[in-house]
Amino acid sequence: MPLLPPASPANESKLTVPQHLRTYYRFQSRIYDLTRWSFLFGRRRALQQLPISPAANISILEVGCGTGHNLVALAKYFPNAYVTGIDLSEDMLAIAAKKVARFGGRVTLEEGAFGVVPLEEKYDLIVFSYCLTMVNPDWDKLLEVARKSLPPTGMLTVVDFHDSAFPFFQSHMKKHHVRMDAHLLPVLVEEFEPVRHTVKSAYGGLWRWFHFVGRQK
């Protein structure tokens, strides 16, 4: 999700989502859960490989939570955690709201841009799942906000597309607002203290995806 500029003082409570993105995600929200299982790999692994006890009493934020797939998984895996999801798309969040209703006030949703919408001061864990490669050109600003939103003991986990050796596939993904040129992982390794990072191939090497877990430096 792109990081939007702050709202004007005359309209601080409003966040204007560009129309092309509003249209894109209105359609994608209808097919998201039916299709994403086939190429958003590593989401379950990213959760299971966190060096955090499932019994931990922590606060978690997922940036770009979409239809709530990960929010449900996080709420189940960490039954004592409070989980927040933020996303630009009201259509995605409408679906997520139905999924997380069973958790009551333990899971909350926020509509808007990370870094613009006021959230809790600090989170123990921030999750980016197939979000950062879609934030162009401001993905680095999201990481800066994430650093400021983590306490000294806080952790960041990212699972996302890495790269592809095939120009036709890179072009195809670019049409869906996804950048695939291995730009994220080196920056994550530099700016956070790595706990774990791996790169995996998908569909015989058509593309690669990565999982990163890091701490504040």
Instruction: Round the CA-based radius of gyration of the chain to a whole number and report it.
Output: 16
pLDDT at 151: 95
User: Contact 169/121 with Cβ under 8 angstroms?
Assistant: no
| Bridging pattern class, strands 82-87 and 125-129 | unpaired
pLDDT at 34: 61
Q: How far apart are CA 69 and CA 46, in angstroms?
A: 13
Q: Which residue has the tokens 């569909």?
A: 203
Token readout for 87 is 């996303």
User: Contact 155/199 with Cβ under 8 angstroms?
Assistant: no
For the cut 70, the answer to whether the pLDDT of residue 9 exceeds it is: no
- SS3 track for 162-213: EECCCHHHHHHHHCCCCCCECCCHHHHHHHCEEEEEEEEEEHHHCEEEEEEE
Q: Which residue has the tokens 């998201």?
A: 32
pLDDT at 205: 96
pLDDT at 132: 95
pLDDT in tens, 109-165: 999 989 999 898 899 999 999 999 988 889 999 999 999 999 999 999 999 999 999
pTM beyond 0.75: yes
User: Contact 150/157 with Cβ under 8 angstroms?
Assistant: no
For the cut 60, the answer to whether the pLDDT of residue 17 exceeds it is: no
List b or e across 174-200, with b for residues whose CB sees 16 or more CB atoms inside 10 angstroms. eeeebbbeeebbeebeebbeeeeeeee
User: Contact 51/211 with Cβ under 8 angstroms?
Assistant: no
Q: How far apart are CA 217 and CA 213, in angstroms?
A: 13
Cis peptide before 137 (omega within 30 of 0): yes
Q: How far apart are CA 128 and CA 43, in angstroms?
A: 10
Domains of the chain: 16-215 (3.40.50.150)
pLDDT at 29: 63
